[in-house]
Amino acid sequence: MRPTAGRLLAVALFCVLSLPYGLPAHAAVVAQDWHTPADGLLTLDTATGLQWLDVTVTQGLSWNAVTSQLGAGGRFTGFRRPSDDELATFWADAGIVAGGTATVANFGPVDALQQLWGNLGQLPFTPPGTTATLATTAQSFNPVNNAVEGVPLLLLFQRDGTAIAALHTLIGIPPTQAATYLAHALVQGESTVAAVPEPSTALLLIAGIASGGLMRARWRATHI
């Protein structure tokens, strides 16, 4: 049966509508082991392939202390500090929406991630019944002010069933200072997320395929 222009265009339209752009990628965060079986000290983001070290491991260490252990032979060899964008992606893949307001929708995802990634307990400046995860990223140190600031914060409020995810909470402490309420986000691996073609690119590709099919159909019609 010879392909008709209508049939080819219908196939092309089906391909366009079947493309994944605009649809969220399936993502999950799961516990993995670091040094010993069942230690559960790593959290794998299956969407990016990045492994996140539990914040409880770096809790109470200073910025400088962690930095000194990132090189070869150090306690955290193989790890690096993530960017703010990587951390935001990690949270998003865990179902957390970053923003400046505590929401009921964030309670479940924040609670689940804190159970995997860790929490630092009750911060001195939070109300009772609150668990917190306060951690630095690669962009948390300000060399001009010589201070650690702009760190991300997860807060879970048990009293009203809400949670907040804030990417830039200012604390302003020297890089030599250790605080029990502060941890440091560390990650290993490079992101494996593949770029999804934009709709315009996909449409051009499908249009080219459809055009080629139409030309072939016309050639066969005139030479058979």
Mean pLDDT of the chain: 81
How high is the pLDDT of residue 125? 73
Average pLDDT, integer, range 25-46:
90
**Model pTM greater than 0.85?**
no
At position 29, the amino acid (one-letter code) is: V
How high is the pLDDT of residue 192? 64
Q: Residues with Cβ < 8 Å from 89, sequence gap 6 or more?
A: 45, 47, 48, 191, 193
